[in-house]
Structure 1
Amino acid sequence: MIATEAGVGRQTLYRRWPSKAELVLAAFLESAGDADVLSDGRAEKRLLHFLVNVFRNLQQDGPAIRNLIASAQDDPEFLKSFRAGFVEPRAEIVATIFRDGIANGEILEDADVEMAVAAFHGAFWYHLLLGGKLDAEFAQRLTRLIMKSISKEPREEELLK
């Protein structure tokens, strides 16, 4: 259908995109555009803004993303493409927000940024894959949880001393 609409042969498509998943990923990345990211402000505000916008996009694109994730499980080459084109750029956005928070004193200097990014993304991917509701409330709760775990605000064990 895509080849017919484009006025090319199927082989032309498969020379450019080796699988249906690669073609869908390319189309998705083209339509998704750049992530909406605040460049300054407090880390918590920036993180929440990013997450609310991700969730807004997933309202429309969630089923396609679930299918791409499923395809990546059985195709190591597509998994590499999916990670490089979709997962890693978004993980880097979150890591940058956390590193900026460290630099401006909001986040602990010894915060495990890599683990915080994994926990952040893991929570909402898990929710997406299991059909959970991705809305502003979930975005706020997740942002609060992650920020509480890496924030410079006094920790409970410090308050007990």
Structure 2
Amino acid sequence: MKTEKFKLIHTNQHNIFVSNEIFKPFADKKMSRVKVELLFNNTKLDFYAAVKKDKISGDYKMMISKQKQQELGLSLGDEFEIQLFEDTSKYGVEMPEELEAVLMSDYDAYQIFESFTKGKQRSIIYGVLRFKSSQQKIDKALIMCENLKRGNHEPMKMFKLA
């Protein structure tokens, strides 16, 4: 399931608003997460987003981080192209290969990870994704696995040595 490409004007520094008409097929299927493809000035950015109904406008909204806006060079008032796709990923975000490899090598940690809610799993994935180098991602994933097995599931401490 996907929308046609459509154009929007960037009107809010934190959110992208999508009309009811465009998002209705997703809402009818009770989908609250989508894969987003943005195109601005020949730069394409793909990401996953949670979509919520805006209580004021009645339209749907998804957050867009400052980092994503900077990657695109997107400023308020700019017109950009967007397309929405059904989120068919397992976790609602792309799993970094470093984290996947570490989890596959540690069955106990993998089972604990899989027992978490989808939101908690995404939080852990984002925690690994924030590190730049592949080696840092591996190191932090290894620390996180050890902490999971020790019962330390606190987000602020999960990537730190005990």
Is the radius of gyration larger for structure 1 or structure 2?
1
TM-score, scaled relative to structure 2: 0.31
TM-score, scaled relative to structure 1: 0.31
Structure having the higher strand fraction is: 2
